[in-house]
Chains A and B, each alone.
Chain A
Amino acid sequence: MAAAAAAVRGPDPGSVALEVEGVSVSYGQFVAVESATFSVGAGECVAVIGPNGHGKSSMVTAIAGLVRRGGTVRVFGTTLPVGEPRAAVRAGLVLVPERRHLYPQLTTRDNIMLGGYSRTRRVWAHQAWAEVASVLDMFPELAPLLDQKAGTLSGGQQQMVALARGMAARPKILMLDEPCLGLAEAVTHRVYDWLGAMAATDMTIVLVEENPVHALRVCHRAVRMYRGLVEQAEREPESERPAAELP
């Protein structure tokens, strides 16, 4: 619980949590992300917005070490090696990926428990579960589903499992890639209620969202991606400025 509290308290306000310098991602000849540079302060909630297919997901998966990249990523001053997602997780950078990528034949309990894989270092599954079970306080709707296979859950329930798995790692920086993609409106509201609560803590959040209206409801500012390039944007309430006018 001490570590969980630390995650919520966060590091010193004003310090830089995530530094991205000149990050580029290519798939063969296609350049998905071109020299992306931005930083996120500790405790900030930053949205990465932009149209589909313009490099948002490629950038966050590259930051998380899941695809090969150029450039530098630092988490609280520590440079992450290229292509090593374990190092990112151990540094406290956790990604909740687009389309969730759960383990469909494993139970909800196992899915959440494995979120703490890099942290708990336990031999027995029941001991590891005991160390992460407190995440159910944030997602009480999952309690009756713990022994159900994740592949049999609804899309909304699966998204809750993906969020709980991310939180089981006790992240210092939580990156969420399109967490509401394909979900019903009611579930989207539930996810954003939870995100709003997290954004009000000192946790650092990077939220990839195609819809800037949704994103800026909880985030302090936005980073816009267009054709693989990063632009910066200050927060403006969506009621005062149409989403299409965001830079």
Chain B
Amino acid sequence: MSQFLNLLAAGLTSGAIYGIFGACLAVWFRVCNVLNLAVGDFAMLGAIGTAELVQLDHFPFVAGIAVDLLAVGIVAWLFDRLVLHFAFDRRAGGHGIVSVFFYTFGLSLVIEGGARALFGTDVHSAPAIWSGPALTFADLHVQRAGVLVIALAVVSGLVLWAYLHFTVSGRAASACGESVLGSRIVGIDSALFRRRIFVMTAVLAALFGIVESPLTGFTYQSGPTISLIGVVAAGFAAFRRPGRAVVVGLVLGIAEAMLGGYVSTEYNDVLLYAILFVILIVQPEILGLGAVPA
């Protein structure tokens, strides 16, 4: 029983990581029908950037987090203004499948290269926000950072779900993804929504990277792996439902932990990729490869 509970806790923790990145992908895809394949790189920038600011540059911890999140927000804003604005608002770039992933894939490569030059190839971890020994309940042991990871994922998923379902702004954001022309004729600024949500999800991913990094550590190459698991979680949520992405992420994490605990950890990646293949074969449209709403 204790093994099951500890596997469950580990699964919830890793599942929360899947879920939050899936939610970040889903909410932005819902607004502009583009996959943010750089979401993991923003998490990496959050974790490594904060670690550098606090441990090497001796910033106070909170100030280090604030400066790092601000920097990530500026990077995201600049990318939108300098690339996405011209690609989508001015119709200067390629469209269709190219726009679905090419631009953010390029951003991922740029961030990865920049991070290697700035931070090197070592593993980095931001200081723990809630430090101390693991929490123990009978035979159940949970890392404090793991509790924060789960809490942040659940709260973020709930906030995004409530935003999209109960606010005019959330409805307007959804309308942008449904029909750009239809949103513009009622006065919705689809470019502004795309920019706001992109910057918001970049900062959220960076914050999550900071919270998560004491558990997993980050290198400059961590981004694409994180983005991929986010794609899987978001894919199960039809790429448009961030709340469901968090739930799916948690389920995936638990399934992965149970498989690893009772069968073999070697099957973890196999499970993730098998699920991805199933999506591609059974429902490719949820990966942006099918029909896009008019």
Contact = CB atoms under 8 A, between A and B. Distances in A.
Contacts of B171: 106, 110, 113-114, 125
B244 to A, nearest CB: 14
Nearest to A95: B185
Nearest to A162: B182
Given A123-B167, A128-B168, A106 B175 contact: yes
Given A114-B171, A123-B167, A123-B169, A104 B178 contact: yes
Interface stretch (B123-131, B186-194, B196-204, B281-289): B186-194
Among B167, B170, B179, max chain A CB count under 10 A is at: B179
Contacts of B175: 103, 106, 110, 114
Contact of A103 (B168, B169, B179, B187): B179
Contact of A114 (B166, B181, B188, B240): B188
Contacts of B166: 124-126
Contacts, number: 88
B185 A124 contact: no
A86 B189 contact: yes
B185 A103 contact: no
Interface in A120-151: 120, 122-126, 128, 151
A101 B172 contact: no
Contacts of A118: 186-187
Contacts of B108: none
A210 to B, nearest CB: 20
Contacts of A114: 168, 171-172, 175, 183, 186, 188
Nearest to B169: A123
B132 interface: no
Q: How large is the interface on B (under 10, 10 to 19, 20 to 34, 35 or more residues)?
A: 20 to 34
Among A94, A97, A101, A128, max chain B CB count under 10 A is at: A101
Contacts of A120: 168
Interface string B153-177: 0000000000001111111101100
A122 B168 contact: yes
Contacts of A106: 171, 174-175, 178
A89 B182 contact: no
Interface string A66-110: 100000000000000000011001100011010011111110001
B184 interface: yes
Contacts of B182: 97, 100-103
A192 interface: no
Contacts of A126: 166
Given A85-B184, A114-B188, A105 B293 contact: yes
A17 interface: no
B178 A103 contact: yes
A106 B240 CA distance: 12
Contacts of B174: 103, 105-106, 110
B269 to A, nearest CB: 33
B98 interface: no
Nearest to A99: B294
A226 interface: no
Nearest to A115: B186
Contacts of A125: 165-168, 170-171
Contacts of A86: 184, 187-189
A165 interface: yes
Contact of B294 (A94, A101, A128, A165): A101
A194 interface: no
Nearest to B30: A105
A203 interface: no
A171 to B, nearest CB: 11
Given A86-B184, A101-B294, A102-B179, 18 more contacts: A64-B185, A85-B184, A89-B187, A90-B187, A101-B181, A103-B175, A103-B179, A110-B174, A113-B168, A114-B175, A114-B186, A114-B188, A116-B186, A123-B168, A123-B169, A125-B166, A125-B167, A169-B187
Interface of A: 64, 66, 85-86, 89-90, 94-95, 97, 100-106, 110, 113-118, 120, 122-126, 128, 151, 165, 169
21 contacts: A85-B184, A86-B184, A86-B187, A101-B179, A101-B181, A101-B182, A101-B294, A104-B178, A105-B240, A114-B172, A114-B183, A114-B188, A115-B186, A116-B186, A117-B168, A117-B188, A124-B168, A125-B165, A125-B167, A125-B170, A128-B168
Interface of B: 165-172, 174-175, 178-179, 181-189, 240, 293-294
